[in-house]
Amino acid sequence: MRSWQHAQRELRESLGNGTYETWIKPLRVASIADGRVFLDAPSKFFRDWVERRHLTALRAALCDETDTSPEIVLQVSKGAQGELFAPEEPPETPAKESKPTVAARLAQLVPRYTFENFVVGPSNQLAHAAARAIANNPGAVYNPVFIYGTTGVGKTHLVNAIGHAVLEKNASAKIVYLSSEAFVNELISCLRHQRMEEFKKRFRKVDVLIVDDVQFLAGRERTQEEFFHTFNTLHEARRQIVLTSDKFPKDIPDLEERLRNRFEWGLTVDIQAPDTETRLAIIQQKAEAEGYSISPDVAAYIAEEMVSNVRELEGALTRLGAHASLSHSVVTLDFAKDVLRPLLSHRIKEPSIEDVQRTVCEHFGLTIAELKSKRRTQNLVVPRQIAMFLSRKLVSASFPVIGEQFGGRDHSTVIHAQTTINQRQAADPNLRATIERLERSVTTRKPS
């Protein structure tokens, strides 16, 4: 039998980094005896999912040179979870709040949004790594950090996690977290009551300023001016600035150019909708946080149907739990389909990268293999760049994920394709018409 370390390396290679990080890395060897390997899983759901999907791969990875496979016993490390929405345990007597807890409350950070319960996947890996880096050394590595992405993909969770992590290291750090709307309201109030010195003291004397949804500053002349001066003061003092938006800085309309430039001074990173494996891990994490278990087939159904964002997943779990509790029903797959049908009935399923590739190949008379090949002839380069461009526009996938689906290309190749097609279609009406026609074909195509 091979060592667990050897098996882990082989599993990472065979299953891929995303699957390995989500489902294999959390496993722990409890004991090895009589040719049996006992592995601890963090939850009942986790154990069941690994047994159904990855047990064969585990056996193969642990198999020795004589092709002898050990028996693998998966067990829950701290006892099985209760039934779905089981009665809560009586609350413990609350302990005295620690300094970081008090500071987090004063900073208005959301208590549950920490790094510990943030599920990392290909769609948010770079943003998570950047957030960790600035939490360890605020104001020194990436300043500002600008995180953008559509609604409900985890931007707010991640920036709150930065605040909590900073306070864990330094409980006396001054942190302010607020939405851009709250910033506007605070400014208006201080202007009306002639308290601008108080306003400046609050926002220009902090160690970390976290502002959510900065796109709402656009079009507000006085607010942008005040934010501009606040930004400059903090940046010059090497204080950390963390911003989120639903758009890339250049795509925010009515935003002053001087602010747009400053938003791009540091690191600009996006978060995409989570892939299937990450959605499964999020479902597990959310269910555990609420103190109930959910079967793998129901979790898989939710993950496959709720593709847009994390809030969709949370809404589905909440609805499912409420119906189960009120009707005293067992949550089977049929029950889940029936309960969640209203959430799905009016939703158009998102196309896949394969849908885009097939549509582009049909238009240009190519094969999928040619589109993914390493060849760089003119008849392949342009269709490939168009397909990458449309994948980025129409599919909730990150640059690295798209690159992987185009023959294992680097994410920089996808970024280059997007930039190139943007520039070419702006100058070429025929190309723009072709792309619009392909986009309509993809969005009306039956998803694969």
Per-residue buried b or exposed e for 49-87, using 16+ beta carbons within 10 Å of the residue's own CB: bbeebbeebbeebbbeeeeeebebebebeeeebeebbee
Q: Which of 6-20, 67-81, 126-140 holds the top average pLDDT?
A: 126-140
Identical fold at 99-270 and 353-444? no
| Backbone φ and ψ of 169, nearest 5° | -85, -30
Q: Cβ-count burial of 1 within 10 angstroms (0-12 exposed, 13-18 middle, 19+ buried)?
A: middle
Amino acid at 320: L
Does the pLDDT value for residue 144 go beyond 50? yes
The string over 127-157, giving b where at least 16 C-beta atoms fall within 10 Å of a residue's C-beta and e elsewhere, is bbebbbbbbeebbeebbbbbbbbeebbbbbb
Average pLDDT of the segment spanning 33-62 = 81
For residues 167 and 103, the answer to whether their CB atoms sit within 8 Å is: yes
Rounded Cα gap, residues 400 and 410, in angstroms: 7
pLDDT at 102 over 70: no
3-state secondary structure 302-328: HHHHCCCCHHHHHHHHHHHHHHHHHHC
Task: Check: CB of residue 158 under 8 Å from CB of residue 130.
Answer: no
Q: In whole angstroms, give the CA distance from residue 298 to residue 294.
A: 7
**Contact at 8 Å (CB) between 274 and 310?**
yes
Q: For residue 209, what are the β-bridge partners?
A: 176, 241
Percent of the chain with pLDDT over 90: 21
The values of phi and psi at residue 266, to 5°, are -100, -125
Looking at residue 53, its pLDDT comes to 79
Enter the CATH code of domain 4-76.
Answer: 3.30.300.180
Q: Give yes or no for residue 93 having a pLDDT over 50.
A: no
What's the predicted TM-score (pTM) here?
A: 0.59
**276/117 Cα distance (integer angstroms):** 18
Peptide bond into 144 cis (omega under 30): yes
Q: How far apart are CA 64 and CA 73, in angstroms?
A: 18
Contact 1, 62 (CB under 8 A): yes
Q: Tens of pLDDT along 187-215?
A: 888 888 888 888 888 888 899 999 999 99
pLDDT of residue 231: 92
- What is the residue-averaged pLDDT of the chain? 82
The owner of tokens 């970081």 is: 100
Task: Please tell me what DSSP assigns to residue 406.
Answer: T
Sign of CA dihedral 173, 179, 184, 188: negative
The arrangement of secondary structure in 99-270, i.e. its CATH architecture, is 3-Layer(aba) Sandwich (3.40)
**Average pLDDT of 356-381?**
91
Span 276-342 CATH architecture = Orthogonal Bundle (1.10)
Question: Whole-angstrom distance between the N-terminal and C-terminal Cα of the chain?
Answer: 41
Arithmetic mean of pLDDT, 46-50? 79
The beta-strand segments (E) located in 238-328 are 240-245, 267-270
β pairing state of 28-33 and 36-41: antiparallel
The angle, 0 to 180 degrees and rounded to 10, between the axes of the packed helices 44-53 and 55-62 is 70
Mean pLDDT for the stretch of residues 326-337: 83
| Residue 345 clears pLDDT 80, i.e. is over it | no
State pLDDT tens for residues 402-427: 988 999 898 889 999 988 998 888 88
Please state, as a whole number, how many other Cβ atoms lie within 10 Å of the Cβ of residue 244.
Answer: 23
pLDDT of residue 145: 93
Question: Domain-by-domain residue ranges, the chain?
Answer: 4-76, 99-270, 276-342, 353-444
Residue 225 has pLDDT above 70, yes or no: yes
Q: What pLDDT is attached to residue 208?
A: 93
Q: Which two tokens stand for residue 226?
A: 């005040």
Q: Taking Cα atoms as reference points, which of 300, 294, 345, 349 lies closest to residue 318?
A: 294
Residue 252 — very low, low, confident or very high, per pLDDT cuts 50/70/90?
confident
C-alpha angle with apex 131: 129 to 135, nearest 5 degrees? 120
Cβ neighbours around 161 below 10 Å, total: 23
Q: What is the average pLDDT across 98-126?
A: 76
Reported as a single tens digit per residue, the pLDDT across 294-312 is 788 888 888 877 766 777 7
Number of H helices, E strands in the chain: 21, 8
Sign of CA dihedral 417, 420, 423, 424: negative
Higher-pLDDT residue of 391, 277? 391
Query: Using CA atoms, how far apart are residues 284 and 22, in angstroms rounded to an integer?
Result: 11
CATH of 353-444, one of 1.10.3470.10, 1.10.3720.10, 2.60.120.10, 1.10.1750.10: 1.10.1750.10
